[in-house]
Each structure stands twice: as structure tokens, then as C-alpha cells.
Amino acid sequence: MRLISIVGQKLLNTAQAAGEMLALFVETLYFIKEAPRNLPSITRHMSDIGIGTLPVAMLLALFVGMVLSLQTGSELALYGTQEAIGSIVGLSMVRELGPMMTSLLVAGRIGSAMAAEVGAMKVYEEIDALRTLEINPVRYLAMPRLIACVFAVPALVVFADMVGIAGGGMIAAVNPQINVPFNVYYDNMVRSLDYMEVLKGLMKSFVFGGIIAQVGCYVGFKTTGGARGIGESTTRSVVISFVLIMIANYFLTRFMM
């Protein structure tokens, strides 16, 4: 009986959080009309997300592309079909690995920072201060972050895709077992990739960017309980973002097939 009660309470809490997050999302969308006056804040967040994450995103993408090429290429070489490695790395990076890997990285690096920053503002009464200054916290804090995230994450994905593909090509060329010249790798990759594939990957990252910003802000707004609460919010935002990105990825892939 007690177990049912606990599970029921958890479900109710989840449903409430989902409803509140949706309400926050709708309110944030409403304030997008005010975006031009928050341009400095939006550009600052875009710079934090984009330029700040770019080096580590590129490094990650480089090694993911290299590992993908190494493992897949050596298997293909057993059957003498290693020339397909360009198509495989290109499609994998553009469709799945680029958007997913970059979004998870941004969720860990930026989403958690958003939750901590907004959470600290909540705990230290800065959000209450905004209200008494007649400034809507959703407009001032959530809207610029949402806009910055939905544009910065796809931009990062473009770079991650390019670097990942280049890393894969490099390994394909220099690894004696695979031994696929870069021009062959490139031609195969270009032949199998069309603009729609790239666009689908960017669409995914656009949605993932929105999820990261919304979760970061929502968790931040709900923070209570001082420094410990801020720490918990940071963890919670990463976990929720990861789960929602995974779920969204499945459904987006399914609907864009």
C-alpha cells in the first residue's frame, strides 16, 4: 500500500513538473516578441554557449569520428568494402552522433550552469527583486537563454559534424588496415549525404537546444534550500536534459524517417 502511494506521488510530481515546464515554455514563447530589446543578453549567452563550447565540442567530435572510422573501417576491411566508410561516418555524424553528442555536451556544460545561475538568483532573492522591479523573470532570464540555445547548438553541430567527418577521413587514410584515400572517402561521403540529411540533423539539434534551455531555467526557477539546493538543481538539470534529449531523439528520428 505504501509502495503504491509512493509511486503514485512520484507520478503526480512528474505530471506537475511536466505541466509547469510546458507552461514555462509557452510563457517563454510569448516573450520572444521582446527579443530585440534583449539582444545584448542573447548575444552574450550565444557567445558563452557557442564560443565557450566550441573547442571541447570539436575535440570530442574529432575523436568520435576517428573511433567510428577505426572500428567500422577495420570491420569493413575484412569484407573488402572499406570504401563505404565515408558514407557511414558522414551519415552517422550528421544524423545522430553530431546532434546527440553536442547536445549532451551542452546540457552538461551549459544546462547545468544555467540551472545553477538561475537557481542562485532564486535562492538569493534576485528573482523576487526582478518581480518588485516589475521585470518578468521569464522574459529577462528564460527567453534570452532559449533563443541563444536554439541557435548556438545547431551552429556547434555544424562544426562538430565537419570535424568528426574530417577525423574519420584522417584515420581512414592513415590506418594501413583501412587505407582509403581521403578523396575516395570524401566522394563517398558527399554522394550519400544530401541537404535533407543535414537539415534533419540540425532540426534535431534545434529541438535539443530548446530542451536544454527550458530544463536549465525551469530547474533553476524551482530551486530552494541554499547552496545544497543549487547543487541538486545542477545535477537534476543534467539528468532531466539527458533523458528528454534521448526521448526527443527517438521521436524526431521516427517522424523524420
Partner 1 sequence: MADKQDPRSPVTRFLGALGNGTQIGDIWTKLSHGFTATLMEGQDKQISYEDSHGGIGIRIESLNKSFNGNQVLKEINLEILPGETFSLIGPSGTGKSVLLKHIVKLLEPDSGKIFIDGHDIHSQESSPRNYRYSMVFQSSALFNSLTVGENVGLWLREKRVCGEKQIRQIIREKLSLVGLDGKEEMRTSELSGGMRKRVAIARSLAMNPDLILYDEPTAELDPVTSDELARVIINLKEKVRLTTVIVSHDLNFALYLSDRVGMMHDGQIVEIGTPQQIKQSQNPIVRNFIYTTTKGIKGEDN
Give whole-number Cα distances, 71 to 58, 67, 83, 178, 208, in Å: 20, 6, 14, 10, 28
Q: In angstroms, give the least distance from the CB of 120 to partner 1.
A: 9
32 lies in the binding site for partner 1 (CB under 8 A): no
Nearby residues of 83 by Cβ (< 8 Å), 6 or more positions away? 180, 184, 188
Query: Considering CB under 8 A, how many residues would be counted as binding partner 1?
Result: 18
Among 14, 47, 81, 177, binds partner 1 (CB under 8 A): 47
Provide the grid cell at 70: 577505426
Q: In angstroms, give the least distance from the CB of 102 to partner 1.
A: 23
Q: How far apart are CA 257 and CA 242, in angstroms?
A: 22
251 lies in the binding site for partner 1 (CB under 8 A): no
191 lies in the binding site for partner 1 (CB under 8 A): no
Nearby residues of 234 by Cβ (< 8 Å), 6 or more positions away? 112, 115, 116, 119
Provide the grid cell at 33: 516578441
Closer residue to partner 1 (CB): 129 or 247: 129
199 lies in the binding site for partner 1 (CB under 8 A): no
Contacts (CB under 8 A) with partner 1, residues 120-159: 121, 124-126, 128-129, 131-135, 140
- CA trace torsion 133, 115, 233, 226 (10° rounding): -40
37 lies in the binding site for partner 1 (CB under 8 A): yes
Q: In angstroms, give the least distance from the CB of 141 to partner 1.
A: 11
Binding site for partner 1 (CB under 8 A): 36-40, 47, 121, 124-126, 128-129, 131-135, 140
